[in-house]
């Protein structure tokens, strides 16, 4: 029987995070004894989410599944992002926190009023160089692999889940 596990895997390396990232990481160390300054931070080359492999830092290529594209439900709707890094924080107490550094795409729209047709308008930007980053728990990500079709003529991209459907707010 195959289990649907969620964990960091692949090679890991110690990283020195900048102050901005350290502040975001500290928000996820919820026990009172943990301080990011006393913790060790590792970057992992891969994560297994719900039994599916994801690879941080991959560039989007039109028509291909991208191992960096993740999805989750935020505020009652599905959102998509590009995983920049998978992080493990080893706290100075016996605690481990697994996180994802992610750049969120603009909110999806549904041009066919159908959760299977997902369009993300880019607003003239290069999706591979968006700099907005957030840090979220690894376990908040949905285990849905995503293929991407970039439509440069219309300055948008279409997200195609390989399993599951979106959750959207009906307006």
- Whether residue 2 is contained in a domain is answered as no
- Whether residue 52 is contained in a domain is answered as yes
Report the C-alpha gap between 84 and 103 in whole angstroms: 7
- Whether residue 1 is contained in a domain is answered as no
Would you state the pLDDT for residue 1?
42
- Whether residue 83 is contained in a domain is answered as yes
Confidence of residue 38 (pLDDT cuts 50, 70, 90): low
- Whether residue 94 is contained in a domain is answered as yes
In the chain, the number of structural domains is 1
Query: Which of 50-64, 74-88, 155-169 reaches the highest mean pLDDT?
Result: 74-88
- Whether residue 168 is contained in a domain is answered as no
pTM of the model: 0.83
- Whether residue 143 is contained in a domain is answered as yes
Q: Does residue 164 come out as left (phi exceeding 0), alpha (psi in the -120 to 50 range) or beta?
A: left
- Whether residue 39 is contained in a domain is answered as yes
**Domain span holding position 39:** 7-161
Question: Looking at residues 70-77, what average pLDDT do you find?
Answer: 88
Buried b (16+ CB within 10 A) or exposed e, 85-97: bbbbbebeeeeeb
């Amino acid at each position: 029987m195959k289990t649907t596990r969620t964990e960091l895997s692949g090679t890991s390396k110690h990283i020195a995070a900048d102050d901005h990232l350290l502040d975001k990481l500290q928000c996820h160390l919820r026990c009172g004894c943990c301080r990011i300054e006393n913790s060790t931070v590792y970057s992992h080359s891969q994560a297994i989410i719900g039994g599916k492999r994801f690879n941080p830092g991959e560039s989007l290529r039109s028509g291909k599944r991208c191992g960096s594209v993740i999805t989750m439900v935020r505020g009652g709707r599905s959102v998509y992002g590009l995983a920049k890094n998978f992080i493990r924080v080893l706290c100075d107490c016996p605690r481990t926190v697994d996180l994802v550094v992610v750049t969120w795409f603009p909110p999806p729209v549904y041009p066919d009023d159908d959760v299977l047709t997902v369009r993300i308008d880019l607003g003239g930007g290069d999706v591979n160089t968006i700099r907005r980053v957030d840090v979220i728990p690894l376990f908040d990500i949905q285990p849905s692999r995503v293929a991407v079709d970039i439509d440069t003529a219309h300055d948008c991209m279409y997200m195609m889940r390989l399993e599951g459907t979106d959750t959207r707010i009906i307006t």
